Amino acid sequence: MKLSVAIITFNEERIIEKNLSAVHNLADEIIIVDSFSTDSTQEICSKFPKVKFIQQKFLGFGKQKNFAIEQCQSEWILFLDSDEIPNEELINSIRKIISEPKPEFNVYNVEFNNVFLGETLKYGGWGNIKRERFFKKGHGKYSEDIVHESFITTENKGKLKGKINHYTYKDIYHHIEKSNKYTSMMAEKMYRNGKKSNIFKILFKPMFQFFKSYFLRLGFLDGLVGYYAAATAAFYTFLKYKKLHEIYKFK
């Protein structure tokens, strides 16, 4: 097999069918590692014959992704989040690479379109993002961080034509729900890494985050949604430092 698509899931009925429909003809196999979804995620995935659906307790994003990589049988891996849809140009770029006998690189960066509440963000730190999502098996893995994991490789990286459209949140309530979950994990990660919090950080780091996102990174050019993105980034910063402070307070 030439290409495995790997995805980790938990309650992804909102978008998983669109994700799988986009890659089903491209992939030789699709590895889904699911953290025991309680919605219709498994039922939707069962409609796609190339899907291998594996359920495993959530180990943290880094460990969960590495487990998914281990299940892949193909030479090449395209790693996607469930809310990420490759566009046609990217799919054609991947087809070209896997058909070549000796591609120039073993790891490739892919650019992102971050779609936030229906708008594609170009500024505020959301635009011009690229990540290592297409690679040969054995030439990279994820850090074992519980959240905000990074891709670890010693390889030089190529860049693919095309983009991944990242459909971040279905609405404000979904954003708040995920932010609450992610900031709890981020506070735990910071605690494990010996990071400290105090009143100064709780008060002023969110203010600087808003200033950086909205003004220094030109988030205001994205209009109202750019303001919302900067404000919620500041709130995310506030939550993670407040939760870190609470961890030290009660441990």
* Residues 206 and 139 grouped into a single domain: no
Is residue 222's pLDDT more than 70?
yes
Q: Given pLDDT bands bounded at 50, 70 and 90, which one contains residue 239?
A: very high
* Residues 186 and 160 grouped into a single domain: no
* Residues 27 and 128 grouped into a single domain: yes
* Residues 38 and 54 grouped into a single domain: yes
Q: Which of 166, 182, 214 finishes a domain?
A: 166
* Residues 38 and 80 grouped into a single domain: yes
Q: Given pLDDT bands bounded at 50, 70 and 90, which one contains residue 251?
A: low
Burial of 34 (0-12, 13-18, 19+ CB in 10 A): buried
Domain of 44 in residue numbering reads as 3-166
* Residues 155 and 188 grouped into a single domain: no
CA separation for the pair 74, 86 (Å, rounded): 19
* Residues 115 and 65 grouped into a single domain: yes
* Residues 160 and 176 grouped into a single domain: no
Number of domains in the chain: 2
* Residues 29 and 131 grouped into a single domain: yes
At 174 the pLDDT is 87
pLDDT, tens digit, 9 for 90 and up, residues 25-61: 999 999 999 999 999 999 999 999 999 999 999 999 9
By the 8 A CB rule, do 140 and 107 touch?
yes
CA separation for the pair 17, 32 (Å, rounded): 12
Question: Which of 114, 96, 177, 140 lies closest to 6 in space, CA to CA?
Answer: 140
* Residues 100 and 218 grouped into a single domain: no
Q: Which of 166, 195, 214 finishes a domain?
A: 166
Which segments of the chain does DSSP mark as H helices, in order? 16-23, 41-45, 61-71, 88-99, 172-192, 199-211, 223-250
* Residues 22 and 128 grouped into a single domain: yes
* Residues 192 and 224 grouped into a single domain: yes
CA separation for the pair 177, 27 (Å, rounded): 32
Phi-psi region of 222 (alpha: psi -120 to 50; beta: other; left: phi over 0): alpha
Q: Which of 117, 134, 166 finishes a domain?
A: 166
pLDDT, tens digit, 9 for 90 and up, residues 60-91: 999 999 999 999 999 999 999 999 999 999 99
